[in-house]
Copies of this chain bind each other. A is one copy, B any other.
Amino acid sequence: MTNGKKRILAVDDEEDILEILAFNLTGEGYEVDTCISAEEALRKNLSGYDLFLLDVMMGPISGFRLAEKIRKELALTTPVIFLTARDSENDRITGFNLGADDYLAKPFSIRELSARVKAILRRSSPEQVTIETVAGDFTVDTADKLIFSEGKPIELTRKEYEILALFICNAGKIFSRNDILSKVWGDEVIVTDRTVDVTIARIRKKMGEKGNMIKNKSGYGYYFGD
């Protein structure tokens, strides 16, 4: 997990379905890989995923058998959602015995898909309430997205908060503009690297006197601290 995004592997023998899944879930902020068969999936490193979406009916190895292999041979507890047109009692029972966390009957609506995915992922990773404190009387509250200076919150927008939190939690470490761009903006978004400068100027202003805690090392980047 490079950027905090949840990784999903979708396995289905229909190219169309894979495209729909990938397109929509990527849009929801997930990182989506796809496989056209169970065999292809088994050649991958499956331990890096947070969720599997498996078609039940495909090729020689069904979604059920793939799930079984994942659970038993690879000993993974990663949640699984089965995609299926079938809805008989028999199928459900087979699926649940294999530890299916949910079912999605085709055809499914995009909303239903993303709701189920969201629900499963949330359940498997409870929210964390971290409170980190750093020198210079700065406190970062990652739950409420607040940064305090001497006990008083600084009014920051989202990007501003993300940058300052990054700095404070890594005080002293120098971040190049590209580091900041990829960590705060993500890798898909393309903005001028001067945007970073402007955003930092805005943070400094909101920090008042303490604004000079954000330093610049010419030619390298920005960092926080003395």
Contact = CB atoms under 8 A, between A and B. Distances in A.
A3 interface: no
A218 B157 contact: yes
A87 interface: no
Contacts of A145: 174, 217, 220
Contacts of A157: 218-219
A224 to B, nearest CB: 12
A220 B123 CA distance: 20
B173 A118 contact: no
- How many chain copies does the complex carry? 2
Question: In this complex, which of A93, A97, A102, A144 has the most chain B Cβ atoms within 10 angstroms of its Cβ?
Answer: A144
A42 interface: yes
**Interface size of A as a range:** 35 or more
Nearest to A185: B115
A203 to B, nearest CB: 15
A109 B93 CA distance: 30
B182 A119 contact: yes
A221 B159 CA distance: 15
A143 B173 contact: yes
9 contacts: A39-B102, A60-B96, A73-B126, A118-B187, A122-B187, A144-B172, A145-B220, A157-B218, A157-B219
Interface of A: 39, 42-43, 59-60, 73, 93, 96-97, 99, 101-102, 109, 111-112, 115-116, 118-119, 122-123, 126, 143-145, 157-158, 172-174, 178, 182, 187-190, 217-220, 223
